[in-house]
Amino acid sequence: MPFSLERIGDSKLFLVLSSAATIRKDHIDIIKTLIGTEYRVLVVTTNQPYVILKKIYGKEGINLSKTFFVDAITKYATGSALENTPDCRFINNPANLTDMGIAINETLNTLKGEQVCILLDSISTMLIYIPSINISKFIHFITSKLRLVDAAGIFLAVEKGLDPLLMTQLSTFVDETVDMEEDPHKTQS
């Protein structure tokens, strides 16, 4: 069942919880939903490289003209960034939150005046590289930035992959928590 943004007018920041088995499908459903709206989408990926996501999106018929990327995995995995990629900013590794924040900020500035939604995939993957306290600080920074520029944000995570303290903190930073396993249209505050 696709992710619903029917309440995005009142709520702009979402923590979306998926099972490990469905997180990739949920990511695709979310990006399809966003592309079908007036939003320009900034995909911040710590999970899959830019090239792989572009292939997956292409197979799914997703129009990439409204999509930009911050890729935190390609340089880490290959040692270099791809050339001629105006729709992607590469950072050195998923643990470099400073560079990730700068890349997000620069892209938001580039898209100033447009409706933007960030899709961060995934908080669970970030836990491999970064302590949860640093992730919490980073997500707080990003959600504060998004509120200041009136942009939307969706933070994807594996539900059972978050410790209770991190889950509590993340829930306070967003407007709504959506559990894709319970009911994709049901939201919790």
pLDDT at 188 over 80: no
Domain boundaries, the chain: 17-184
pLDDT at 2 over 80: no
Tokens 């943004």 belong to residue: 5
Which residues does residue 175 pair with via DSSP β-bridges, in sequence order?
Answer: none
pLDDT at 170 over 70: yes
Burial of residue 17 (number of CB atoms within 10 Å: 0-12, 13-18, 19+): buried
Predicted confidence at residue 10, as pLDDT, reads 62
pLDDT at 80 over 60: yes
User: 17-184 in CATH: which number?
Assistant: 3.40.50.300
Joined together, the tokens standing for residue 84 give 């001629």
Predicted confidence at residue 99, as pLDDT, reads 96
d(CA 186, CA 182): 8
Band of pLDDT at residue 189, cut at 50, 70 and 90: very low
What letter represents residue 171's amino acid? S
d(CA 31, CA 88): 16
- Whether residue 121 contacts residue 41, with contact meaning beta carbons closer than 8 Å, is answered with no
Predicted confidence at residue 83, as pLDDT, reads 83
Predicted confidence at residue 187, as pLDDT, reads 39
> What is the pTM for the complete model shown?
0.90
Over the stretch 123-149, which tens digit does the pLDDT of each residue have? 999 999 999 999 999 999 999 999 999
pLDDT at 161 over 90: no
